[in-house]
Structure 1
Amino acid sequence: MDMTAIEERLAHLERVNDDLSDTVARQDDRIALLERRVAMLMEREAGREYDQGGSIPLGDQRPPHW
């Protein structure tokens, strides 16, 4: 392989590496956002179960056909 081919290949690999790094950074931001939303929804749902006044949360109750 001559020097030009090696430099072209290296440039291509650097670009692919940068693209992948950007993708991973965006995914990390998105995952963090989704984790915050899930936590918020779980807190909201826990508040609803508590506000209903039942001694057993709805998720832990047996279905009526049992």
Structure 2
Amino acid sequence: MTTERLFELLDQSSRWHNDSERRKKIAALTAPNIFGQLMLKERVERSCDDAKHQEPRRVIGNG
């Protein structure tokens, strides 16, 4: 979700009367982005760790 779109949604949400409902909506909008970043970070760390334990590839040339 782009930052502009998030601000549009937050601006629309300012019309709501119930603050707790607005907070829930804001949390729902931002939470997937946070979880996505954490999952990406874990994948990057794991892929680096896995690479340390793998044997180097042997290239067989023509000749």
Which TM-score bucket, shorter chain as reference?
Answer: 0.5 to 0.7
Specify which structure has the higher proportion of helix: 1
In the alignment, does 2:17 pair up with 1:11?
yes
Higher-Rg structure is: 1
Give the TM-score normalised by the residue count of structure 1: 0.50
Give the C-alpha shift of residue 37 in structure 1: 0.5
The root-mean-square deviation of aligned C-alpha atoms, in Å, is 2.2
What SS class does the counterpart of residue 31 from structure 1 fall into?
helix
1:1-66 equivalences under 5 Å are: 11-12=17-18, 15-51=19-55
- The unaligned stretches of length 5 or more in structure 1 are 1-9, 53-66
Match of 1:5 in 2: none
After the TM superposition, list the runs of 4 or more consecutive aligned residues in structure 1 that deviate by more than 6 angstroms: none
1:47 partner SS: helix
Letter in 1 for 2:46: M
TM-score (norm 2): 0.52
Identity level (%): 2
| 1:51 CA drift (Å) | 4.8
